[in-house]
Amino acid sequence: MFIQVIQGQVRDRDAARATLERWRTEVEPGAEGWLGGTFGFTDSGMLVAVIRFSSPEAARRNSQRPEQQAWWRQMQRHMDGPVTFHDCGDVSLMLSGGSDEAGFVQVIQGRVRDRDRIHVLTDQATSLISRHRPDILGATLAIDDEGFMTETIAFRSESQAREAERGEIPAAARKILDEETSLIDGMTYIDLHQPWFASR
């Protein structure tokens, strides 16, 4: 799997979302290898789009299509300032990898100093999550060539997520979480309170 993360401030959330929705009818039918996406706006009006493709080649072919380029020119009109892209060929799934049924999505970003160890910790965390965090439906972990990480965690609801955060966690889970945190520089948390999803 290949993931592209797109982020940027928007001028008009409704107009930006309408243009994103229009992609499904005007561009998506010819987008070979497109699997789906997770989308949302932060409280400050930043758009976060986490888009999944079957491979980097599929994503590259889609970006070169005239229909895609014309659509992106329309989308850029809604952006207020620079837009950042993170192309991630290093992708891991936790549990189901996410869910279109999620009511809340949290995005964690930062720069990884040891990606091999992060993968080991992610594998260890998956079994613990399945036993102790029923509020989590799944997650994706995507790392670009420069080591910038985007983890997207899908929760059943924000209220369940907040309640679970306040609870006790097993010592084994705390050890994994603490080590993972120590390996990520500049960690930030982005909350998508009203996410939406698309999938093929």
Domain residue ranges of the chain, discontinuous segments joined by +: 2-88, 90-195
For residue 117, what pLDDT is reported? 96
Topology match between the domains 2-88 and 90-195: yes
CATH topology of domain 2-88: Alpha-Beta Plaits (3.30.70)
pLDDT 10s digits, 106-159: 999 999 999 999 999 988 888 888 888 889 999 999 999 999 999 999 999 999
CATH of domain 90-195: 3.30.70.100
The answer to whether 9 and 81 have CB atoms below 8 angstroms apart is: yes
Q: Among 25, 31, 33, 34, which Cα is nearest to 66's?
A: 31
What pTM does this model have? 0.93
For residue 127, what pLDDT is reported? 81
